[in-house]
Amino acid sequence: MLYREAGQFKTSYGADQQIFPILQDRIFVLLVIVAAFLVVPAIASPYLYTEILIPFLILSLAAIGLNILVGYCGQVSLGTGGFMAVGAYAAYNLWLRAPEFNNLIVVFLFGGLMAAAVGILFGLPSLRIKGFYLAVATLASQFFLDWMFARVKWFTNYTPSGSVAVGKLEVFGVQIDQPVERYILILAIVVVATVVAKNLVRGHIGRSWMAIRDMDIAAEIIGFRPLRTKLSAFAVSSFFIGVAGAMWGFLRLGSWEPLAFDINRSFQILFMVIIGGLGSILGSFLGAAFIVLMPILLNQLPGWLGVKMSTALLSHLEFMVFGAMIVFFLIVEPHGLARLWSIAKEKLRLWPFPH
Amino acid sequence: MSARARSFNEVLLSVEGISLSFGGVKALTDISFDIAKGEIRAIIGPNGAGKSSMLNCINGFYHPQQGAITYKGVRRSQMRPHEAAEQGIARTFQNIALFRGMSTLDNIMTGRNLRMKTGLFWQALRIGPAEREEIEHRRAVEEIIDFLEIQHVRKVPVGQLPYGLQKRVELGRALAAQPELLLLDEPMAGMNIEEKQDMCRFVLDVNDEFGTTICLIEHDMGVVMDISDRVVVLDYGRKIGDGVPDEIKRNQAVIDAYLGVGH
């Protein structure tokens, strides 16, 4: 009833090909973006920024990056944490060694580009190995990069503990310090990156990725070059992941050590992609929201309900319920939360009428 | 009697002495034939005769150990599939090889990918050249969608389409590349009589309207004899017949291969 596209006729291919062809979707997304930029800063507390909104947005960006590789191009990767680390340490070294570039946009772009270069390098085996075997090869990249940032002291500027810290952050001369400033900067970057990702996956480059994913032999016979296509997916994916890694270091942590980007981070982001929905930009956000918010919610819920229990029991329960929920969602909808959302939209077209 | 008595002069592709083996198995032995520009050429033969292997050699997916293929006057022994695609050879597959996660429209758009050149930067912004290019190719693809009468499934994921329509979408994807030589591997396998008639009509229309040269593998002899100009017959990797449909029907070796020989 509310969600009906009846009467919305397209008279040009351009109008038919836009990101949100349905008016209600356009209004909804616009409202969400306006609310995120204007309403949230008016009401949010520092806790909400640092523990919920900032992690959610940054990890959403990393999930978009991984989704391009796994969901759109069909190349399984367990090296996400490593590529985030490349982004973070490349950004750190540019910020440290070239103070004249103390502009976070430049610093993050550099981190992303370095991660893209490393992604291309570790994507090379994908021409020959597929599926689980490729997952193992990318796992090797994760361990290698972990080792490199822990052992090659130049990357961490020879600090004895291996921990690095950043401060005095600027964007075009504007200081970025307060949580709200960091939030707005991250939000702006994530919005732009999302539009870029969406544009790429709906154009001919995205179609080449999906063709390789769905049937690589047919794709090659149509004229796609498998290596070039796969490496472009690795590059774009790693770029997004690298920018997310740089933001995670600079704007979420402020000071970090290689452990911040270990194998657990790779799994966390892979879970976001799988639970959110492979091959869906929206799914990346839904998956990130689920993985970031659900543990916090589970942790707080007993307190809100007035149930008293020990913190140890609470944290064990949190793990168990969270794990059970992941299994439940995968059984109910293997295609992820994004598919649930699109089914809901299908139903809303008719609701409340039965036919 | 052949329904179409046409004559052709110019050779588009010729195959000379092709031999292909996998380990000890000889798939093709010393095959030679040619395909004239503008004709409909059929390759027939019992199961396992090497028909699909022959198509795979022509579009560069298999590399024959001996022999050469001359296409548009250029002789080559080895070629990558994407090079064949760039030179105007498109094909469909025996087992449907569509991109199942993508819509009909996107599948056919992939056929035009070789012509889409805008780089990552413009694609990312999706303004100017990228948007113009997309619309220009969308227009061409919509013409193919009209031609094949699949407007109603334009935005349906192809995995959800019935078999006959999937075959049609696959033909559309091959046509989108505007090929000079179209290789069809059993385009009518598993279809009912009406779907076969539709598909025959599309094949003939493609040949007439676009002037596309067609090389097809088909098991339905009625179809083959009606629509093809010349027929090659393979059996156990050897060529046992080559000629216009009327000759093939009278060829004793072909009759033996299909019906068996009494001992």
- Residue in chain A closest to B92 (alpha carbons) equals A218
Query: Whose structure tokens read 């772009």?
Result: A109
Chain A residues contacting B via beta carbons under 8 Å: 12-14, 17, 196, 199-200, 202-205, 207-208, 210-211, 213-215, 217-225, 232, 236, 279
Lowest mean pLDDT among A107-111, A136-140, A157-161, A346-350: A346-350
Which residues in chain B touch residue A210, judged by CB atoms under 8 angstroms apart? 99, 101-102, 106
Asked whether residue A230 carries a pLDDT value surpassing 90, the answer given is yes
CB atoms within 10 A of CB B53: 22
Q: How far is Cα A126 from Cα A76, in angstroms, rounded to an integer? A: 9
The residues facing A256 across adjacent strands are A164
Task: Report the amino acid identity of residue A300.
Answer: Q
Q: Which residues of A touch B93 (CB under 8 A)?
A: 218
Residues of B whose CB is below 8 A from A224: 82, 110, 113
Contact A218 B93 (CB under 8 A): yes
In the prediction, which pLDDT does B33 show? Answer: 94
User: Which residues in chain A are closer than 8 Å to B121, comparing Cβ atoms?
Assistant: none
CB spacing of A204 vs B84 below 8 angstroms: no
For chain A, percent of residues with pLDDT exceeding 70: 99
**How is domain A44-350 classified at the architecture level of CATH?**
Orthogonal Bundle (1.10)
Per-residue confidence band for A355, with pLDDT thresholds at 50, 70 and 90: low
Residues A38-76: pLDDT tens digits?
A: 999 999 898 899 899 999 999 999 999 999 999 999 999
Q: Do A222 and B138 touch (CB under 8 A)?
A: no
Residue A43, exposed/middle/buried by CB under 10 A (0-12, 13-18, 19+)? exposed
| Chain B residues inside the 8 Å CB shell of A223 | 81-82, 85-86, 113-114, 177
Distant-in-sequence, close-in-space partners of A64: CB < 8 Å, separation ≥ 6: A193, A194, A197, A240, A281, A284
Which of B99, B155, B182 to substitute to test the interface with A, most A CBs within 10 Å? B99
Residues of A in contact with B114 (CB under 8 A): 222-223
Cβ contacts (< 8 Å) between B135 and chain A: which residues? 12-14, 17
pLDDT at B5: 62
The answer to whether A221 contacts B130, with C-beta atoms less than 8 Å apart, is no
How close A135 comes to chain B (CA, Å)? Answer: 22
pLDDT at A1: 60
- Mean of pLDDT values over A28-33: 94
Q: Look at A13 and B142 and tell me if their CB atoms are within 8 Å.
A: yes
Cα separation of A222 and B86, whole Å? 9
* Cβ within 8 Å of residue A198, ≥6 positions away: A19, A281
Burial (CB count <10 Å: 0-12, 13-18, 19+), residue B54: buried
Can you tell me the ipTM of this complex? 0.89
Residues of B with CB under 8 A from a CB of A: 59, 61, 81-82, 84-86, 90-91, 93, 97-102, 106, 109-111, 113-114, 116, 118, 120, 123-126, 130-131, 133-135, 138-139, 142, 173, 177
| Cα–Cα distances in angstroms (integers) from residue A253 to residues A66, A143, A163, A167, A228, in the given order | 21, 22, 11, 11, 36
**How near does any CA of chain B get to the CA of A225, in Å?**
7
- Measure the CA–CA gap between B162 and B143, rounded to whole angstroms: 22
Across the interface, which of A207, A215, A223 has its CB nearest the CB of B97?
A215
**Domain boundaries along the sequence of chain A:** 1-8+19-43, 44-350
Q: What is the pLDDT of residue B1?
A: 39
Cβ distance B100 to A215 less than 8 Å, yes or no, reads yes
Residues of chain B positioned with their CB less than 8 A from the CB of A70? none
Whole-number Å distance between alpha carbons of A187 and A175:
16
With beta carbons less than 8 A apart as the criterion, state whether A251 and A266 touch. Answer: no
Rounded-to-integer distance, Cα B95 and Cα B188, Å: 11
Please list the alpha-helical segments (H only) found in A174-214.
Answer: 179-202, 204-214
Distance (Å, whole) CA A64 – CA A247: 15
Nearest CB to B113 within list A13, A202, A223: A223
Q: How far is B16 from chain A (nearest CA, A)?
A: 22
pTM reported for the whole predicted model: 0.91
pLDDT mean values, one per 10 residues, chain B (263 residues): 66 93 90 94 91 91 91 84 90 92 95 89 88 93 95 93 93 95 93 92 94 93 92 93 92 86 70
Q: What angle do CA B196, B201, B207 make, to 5 degrees?
A: 130
The pLDDT tens digits of the residues spanning A288-313 come to: 999 999 888 888 888 888 888 888 88
Cα distance between residue B111 and residue B85, in whole Å: 10
For residue B178, what is the nearest residue in chain A, using CA coordinates?
A222
DSSP β-bridge partners for residue B13? B35, B71
Judged on CB neighbours under 10 Å (0-12, 13-18, 19+), B209 is: exposed
DSSP A277-290: -TT-HHHHHHHHHH
Which residue of B126, B141, B181 to mutate against A (max A Cβ within 10 Å)? B126
Using a CB-CB cut-off of 8 Å, the residues of chain A touching B110 are: 207-208, 211, 219, 222, 224
What domains appear along chain B, each with residue ranges and CATH number? 1-88+179-263 (3.40.50.300), 99-178 (no CATH)
Query: Which of A269, A260, A217 is closest to A238 using CA atoms?
Result: A269
